A and B are shown apart, each in its own frame.
Chain A
Amino acid sequence: MSLLRKNNPQTLTWQRRAMRVLTFPISVLAIYGILYVIKPDKVSIALKGAGNIFITIMVPLSLVFVLMLALNLFLKPAQIVKFLGRGAGIKGVILSATAGIISSGPIYAWYPLLKDLREKGAGVSFMAIFLGNRAIKPPLLPIMISYFGWVYVLILTIFTILASIFAGYAVGALAKESNSGDGYKVQQKDI
């Protein structure tokens, strides 16, 4: 039984993921341990400071979970990607920006889907607008507002959206015709 579990690739993947996620906090705790031997008083101050940050972050963080849940419940990546490739002009810009804002999860999870869309002919500008608007994270807004205030967050959000649209057009103009060397071909075979 234990041998089976040891050789189970799913268990290994889970362990690898846990290791990757936990390495950083464990390393920081190790630094705490080392520094405690040298400067115990300063480490106590550091711990107290970290505790204060946790207290500030607690309420907005629970709101983050609720917003994540709402996004996962009502939005499906398949739908987001489906409408990202559609439309032209202003409609395309709005759809791509909206898709970027509501998309969640790490960016590397989105690369294969974007690659697939590019192979199907979605515009370079829309890809760039999508990636730029991923800077806006609705579920994380409670934390940002609690730290910097809603006026600052509102101004920053507006400028980030405008900049990402501008970036989309700039990337579209600069990178448009030059991707032939990167090897994107539609690989469809009729049978």
Chain B
Amino acid sequence: MKIAVSSDSANLEAKVAHKFGNSKYLVIVDLESGDSEAVPNPGASAQRGAGMQAVVLAVSKDVEAVLTGYCSPAARSHLTVNGIEVISDLSGTIGEVVGRYKKGDFRKYKGVELEHRPRWSKIDKAILSYAIRSSAKQFANLLPILVGVVLLMGLFNAFVPRHILVSIFSGNPALDILWGACSGSIIAGNPINSYVIGRELLTSGVSLFAVTAFMVAWVTVGLVQLPAEIAALGKRFALVRNAVSFVLSLGVATLTVLVFNFFMG
């Protein structure tokens, strides 16, 4: 059985870190063999989602319990739903708390919060309220931009004369696809916005080839996010992936519209 202890230093004499999400290390201790390793917590320096990254680390290490000073309700809910016992409000050195855990002290000690739920337990109130809050937050982030895009589309339809669009999108499928993919690669954001813009372009007379390439490139190619992707996954990976995705967006648009036209006559 393996357990994880949050710590700011990589040795057994170090103190238990106060916060699970922001601790520098998770010290993984195998209780049977006595082996231990300190794994750097990817969430230690993160400004957002630190707790979740520590949760992912704990889950990936197959630990059965987390010992820490403080664990946020969201991280606690994710850990317990993955079958990991959370014991918080602890202080002392790693060696001490591991020893006390082995002896079963925490099951008697009043000050320690102990929570354990089996894997895939039924949905409880805490998880439901967390899901509602997450969805509301996602929706609240999506809505203002969507409102802006819809208003912009209203202006676009009223003010941009049709002949200007026709002069850009000539009706030549190859050129239209290229233009569509280029504009989709530059602009980024929630895909819902690309659907609204795509639909309006379509009703303005722009071909389905161009609109499809625009929507596919919007979600698969990200020039705006390229620096973040390079930083996380490496320069070569990010550049090759975006270049391949750009070329494939041309192919996907061509095939989709050809097959669609074949079925719809």
Binding site for B on A (CB under 8 A): 21-22, 24-25, 27-29, 31-32, 35, 39, 42-43, 45-51, 53-54, 57, 64-65, 68-69, 72-73, 76-79, 81-82, 85, 104-105, 107-109, 111-116, 118, 120, 124, 127-128, 131-132, 134-135, 137, 140, 143-144, 147-148, 151-152, 155-156, 159-160, 163-164, 166-167, 170-171, 174-175, 178-179, 182, 184, 187-191
Contact = CB atoms under 8 A, between A and B. Distances in A.
B260 interface: yes
A82 B155 contact: no
13 contacts: A25-B148, A27-B148, A32-B155, A46-B158, A48-B154, A53-B154, A53-B200, A104-B138, A115-B232, A127-B237, A135-B220, A159-B256, A174-B240
A53 B131 CA distance: 29
Contacts of A79: 59, 82
Among A79, A105, A182, chain B packs the most CB atoms within 10 A around the CB of: A182
Nearest to A113: B56
Contacts of B164: none
Given A76-B81, A107-B225, A128-B241, 9 more contacts: A21-B140, A22-B144, A46-B155, A51-B154, A57-B150, A107-B229, A113-B53, A115-B233, A191-B36
Tell me if A's interface is mostly helix, strand, loop or mixed: helix
A67 B145 CA distance: 20
Interface in B57-84: 57, 59-60, 78, 81-82
A111 B229 contact: yes
Contacts of B241: 128, 131, 167, 171, 175
B56 A78 contact: yes
